[in-house]
Structure 1
């Protein structure tokens, strides 16, 4: 029997991702969907009906977060709205005394995200997490464990590719898609998961040199191709590539290379792992590395929720906290700034606000 009462969850934004988080909560003994929040009654009705089919009790329904907070009965919110609204809604929930979970990215605006991060620092008793579930993939955990043990030696380089495809119909399906203010481009929206893993493995970049382009889509403001070189404090270099113009969609690939070993993650699976401590250079180290991991939920979203709930109950920081989300955002913003201004951009300068208010644009355009 669970010794703790379930946390009362409000799902803010009842689109595809909001529905996913509501379903995960319905299957968890640690969470109870107490409220659904969306200005669209059709959206909240669809999610409520889905929860009913899963056997969950009916949640309260609200059209806005302010009303839901006034109604009470909420311990934690998960924000699944348009990316450009994340920080403002997160701050409102934080100031109401709630724990906060925000879908990636933390926001599209660095100043708004910084304000949220600083507010969170003043409330150490409240947990604020950013969804980046792939840190909980067995493949990523195996690589991070090896990095912590320095089994790859000195890290020399990395390659992070998000080679996805999105049709013109995808962007035309909603007016906010492909906008700077509410969505962001291929890197901000699709590639940020791979970037987050790269940063989890290698740390904070010193600077970024980048180009972006819009080559395969019309009627969008943002890039559908981004390519960057990231330089790290220890001298390691990484290439970062994110696109929504790679037909028929080749998925994600992340390579880590060092003086004593290398690893490759492809489509979320560990496909190559070799270090000097292997008995046989041709041996299957992948199977061994995965077998030695501690067990946990098989679903990475479920695993992240387990970590978040545990962090709340133990009073600790979750694996993907607001600082991690802020670093990913400032790195994306550095890529966009480099492409716009035509020069190398220091990530710390972005974080400190040097470029707040600077407009960004794509390079080559259709």
Structure 2
């Protein structure tokens, strides 16, 4: 029996989720929800699903709701779905605002006790390169983790922000290059290095007009382990190049570049990159044109396994909350001009 999926939000990311669900043998698209009549009818027709103007009429207890709306609506829609007895997958970030994100994450145990799976999209945790590096990091193959360097050097033309009234707004986007484009990389840093303690940051808006958010962010993070990391995210880096994450330890190092494994040196487990992932996942290998959909499909595999097995998903609500808290700590530090403790961000 397949699990009915309701996709909330018929924009670009909603289309990606529909494409992923249509490929999954255990899922089918039952409904598409959007306030825009043309958008919802178009995507519902493509998916062979019903179209709804609001979530209330599209909910199926025991089904799955995927939230793909502007970020400032995420937590409220997720809570509505969970209250109706549906599993939930929320697109990143968990919410634009920290308050709603925390309110939702604080109920994680309650949802789990009711047998509901609630997850946040962080599909790059399931990339073979990320899995290999995490195995080396968490398994001791890199020794004591000491530092990391992460950069998201992307480009978004002014037309990107002009394409929707919510883009680049504090209320619905929640932030700019870091909250929207860089939060995946923030999540990977936290997954690999653990609990962050303190952040010092600068942000700027240098290449775009009529937006409320940053298009450049740089930060230094200090972790509970003592490890340090630098983080850079921009939508002002024309023409845009691949995301790169370097992880260093006393026994080895690893580099993920554009979601592929560029380098691995470890003294336990696979010793080098070619031993850790298939050739197709090594840096420089041709990437299939649907690689973005495949990344989401891997997370759907995890979600279905969690639903079937009654286990937590690979990315939980508290993971999503921590990523949002770190982004807000970056913004607060940049505003105040001083280091900010992540635990003190409100």
Whole-angstrom distance in 1 between the partners of 2:269 and 2:134: 18
The 5 Å alignment of 1:189-268 reads: 189-268=180-259
**Aligned match of 2:101:** 113
Asked if the contact 1:209/1:339 (under 8 Å) is kept, the reply is: yes
Could you say which structure has the larger radius of gyration? 1
What displacement does 1:233 show? Answer: 1.0
Change (3 A) 1:73 1:127: closer
TM-aligned CA deviation for residue 20 of structure 1: 1.3
Distance 1:324 1:73, change over 3 A: closer
TM-score by length of 2: 0.92
Residue in structure 1 matched with residue 165 of structure 2 by the alignment: 175
User: Deviations 1:66-86 (Å, cap 9, x if unpaired)?
Assistant: 2323xx476110000000000
1:80-119 pair list within 5 angstroms = 80-119=68-107
Give the whole-Å Cα distance in 2 for the aligned partners of 1:226 and 1:252. 14
Alpha-carbon distance, 1:101 to partner = 0.5
Q: Which string of whole-angstrom CA distances, capped at 9 and with x for unpartnered residues, describes residues 49-75 of structure 1?
A: 322xxxxxx322110112323xx4761
2:61–2:85 Cα contact (<8 Å) kept: no
CA contact (8 A) 1:9 1:34 kept: yes
- Whole-Å separation in 2 of the counterparts to 1:228 and 1:257: 18
Distance 1:277 1:127 in 2: 34
Q: 1:48 to 1:146 in 2, by over 3 A?
A: same
Q: Which structure 1 residue ranges, 5 or more long, are not aligned?
A: 52-57, 293-297, 356-366
Of the three residues 311, 327, 336, the one matched with 2:322 is: 327
Is 1:79 aligned to 2:67, yes or no? Answer: yes
C-alpha contact 1:94 1:120 (8 A) present in aligned 2: no
1:300 to 280, 295, 301: 295
Match of 1:123, SS state, is: helix
4+ aligned runs moved over 6 Å, structure 1: none
2:134 maps to which of 131, 144, 147? 144
Is the contact made by 1:9 and 1:74 (CA closer than 8 Å) also made in structure 2?
no
Report the Cα offset of residue 204 of structure 1. Answer: 1.5
Question: Contact 2:61–2:84 at 8 Å: present in 1 too?
Answer: no
Structure 2's unaligned 5+ residue stretches are 280-290
- May I ask how many residue pairs the two structures share in their alignment? 330
2:123 aligned to which of 120, 133, 137:
133
Are positions 1:45 and 2:25 aligned together? no
- Counterpart for residue 345 of structure 1: 340
Instruction: State the match for 2:285 in structure 1.
Output: none
Write the deviation string for residues 101-143 of structure 1: whole angstroms up to 9, x where unpaired: 1000000111101111123321211110001100111110010
Whole-angstrom distance in 1 between the partners of 2:23 and 2:267: 43
Assess if the C-alpha contact under 8 Å between 1:120 and 1:126 holds in 2. Answer: no
**Distance in 1 between residues matched to 2:225 and 2:90, nearest whole Å:** 31
In structure 1, the residue matched to 2:276 is: 289
